[in-house]
Amino acid sequence: MSPLHLAVALDGAGWHPAAWREPDAQPDRLFTPAYWVGLAKEAERGLLDFITIEDGLDLQSDTRFGPDERTDRVRGRLDAVLIAARVAPATRHIGLVPTAITTHTEPFHLSKAIATLDYVSGGRAGVRVQVAGRADTAAHFGRREIPPLSTEQLAEPGGRRLVAEHFDEAADYVEVLRRLWDSWEDDAEIRDVATGRFIDRDKLHYIDFEGRWFSVKGPSITPRPPQGQPVVAALGHASVPYRLIARSADIGFVTPRDRSHAAEIVTEVRGAETESGRAGVHLFGDVVVFLDDTAAAARARRERLDERAGVKYSSDAYIFAGTPAELADLLLDWREAGLSGFRLRPAALPHDLAQVTGGLVPELQRRGAFRAGYAGDGWPATLRGLLGLSRPANRYRLDVA
């Protein structure tokens, strides 16, 4: 079986709301470049495939459908794409996958931002696309109205229709991204000083996208990225986002409860993938991790954090509290369900990230389940190469049409 793929999801001081109050937390550095560079370099030290960086168009909230008034939680973020651009020169191998919101933003802007990140990183860029369905978020932009929703309303026909529309819009958004990345052929830049020709204008292409949500002429103003197509990722919890993963993404993050549930998710996504005429999407299981040298210490730390937060921590993803060896057992068991890898969400930073790189990775290496290094033995330099994804041909080249 192929080696396991591993990523970490970075969010503020960690995924537990009280993580910023831990003794080794760094709340005064959350908005500094050194903080993010340090986390990325630690993840790279652990030979991980990539990091994702959380982002949003509204303040974090404990309330699903609107803002809260809490003052005891981390609030505020730096822009994820700009964080990734700052981190890129300080790293050499690890992939950088910032989150970007497809609702309310324009794909033309994001296409050149991610293409630029791919150049800055030498071919290690990706993007996690995410929808934003809150009414207060829409009010930041004033270009559309989204009605306030509740859990009950989401189960009604109108709520289900709105959710489906958001994800259909996201699929169109990704299609525009991909067409814009291809709108320059790889050899469009001639740079011939003698003749005075810098580009071959015949190798820049109008994408002429016309859809319900976007009308984009193209071409891009940024040449085709080094990877050809930077990696696109999306998170899904149910059938509608699973279809987005199947038809639009290179990586899908999913949230199984156990091995059998993971197998059900894999079967559903693979079926949707076949219907879309695609194959080979990587599926990563998301797991929140509390890791310590003993299981008792990990559980005690979780309980202490819950007490500080004033509420028991819950998540859309499975929550694991134990040792790196016990986590390795779980990951290798769940992999049998058909998952390509896992995206781990450190409950507290930097503690749980260091446990991943210094504890989990060596344990997986001892079991022959994880790489021993990035360099040597033909390890590719790009994120697509690291994930075993080929560099796609340009859709607009006449000789491959």
List, as one string, the DSSP characters of 39-104. Answer: HHHHHHHTT-SEEEE---SS---SSTTS----SSS------HHHHHHHHGGG-SS-EEEEEEE-TT
Distance CA 162, CA 185 (A): 37
- Torsion over CA of 273, 278, 282 and 287, rounded to 10 degrees? -20
Task: Please provide the distance, in angstroms rounded to a whole number, between the alpha carbons at the two ends of the chain.
Answer: 35
Residue 135: what pLDDT?
83
Joined tokens for residue 188: 């469009």
- Write out the E strands in 138-262: 189-192, 197-199, 209-210, 215-216, 231-236, 251-254
- Torsion over CA of 53, 54, 59 and 63, rounded to 10 degrees? -160
Residue 146: what pLDDT?
83
Joined tokens for residue 332: 């290798």
Joined tokens for residue 350: 């930097």
Query: Domain map of the chain by residue range?
Result: 5-183+229-400
Distance set, CA 260 to CA 1, 3, 319, 339, 359 (Å): 19, 21, 16, 12, 27
Q: b or e along 252-262 (b: 16 or more beta carbons within 10 Å of the residue's beta carbon)?
A: bbbbbeebebb
From the number of C-beta atoms within 10 Å of its C-beta (0-12, 13-18, 19+), residue 105 rates as middle
Tens-level pLDDT at each residue, the chain (401 residues): 678 999 999 999 999 999 999 999 999 999 999 999 999 999 999 999 999 999 999 999 888 888 888 999 999 999 999 999 999 999 999 999 999 999 999 999 999 999 999 999 999 999 999 999 888 888 888 888 888 877 888 788 888 898 899 999 999 999 999 999 999 999 999 999 999 999 999 999 999 999 999 999 999 999 999 999 999 999 999 999 999 999 999 999 999 999 999 999 999 999 999 999 999 999 999 999 999 999 999 999 999 999 999 999 999 999 999 999 999 999 999 999 999 999 999 999 999 999 999 999 999 999 999 999 997 444 458 999 999 999 999 999 876 54
Question: Under CATH, domain 5-183+229-400 is a member of which superfamily?
Answer: Luciferase-like domain (3.20.20.30)
Q: Report the predicted TM-score, pTM, of the whole model to 2 decimal places.
A: 0.95
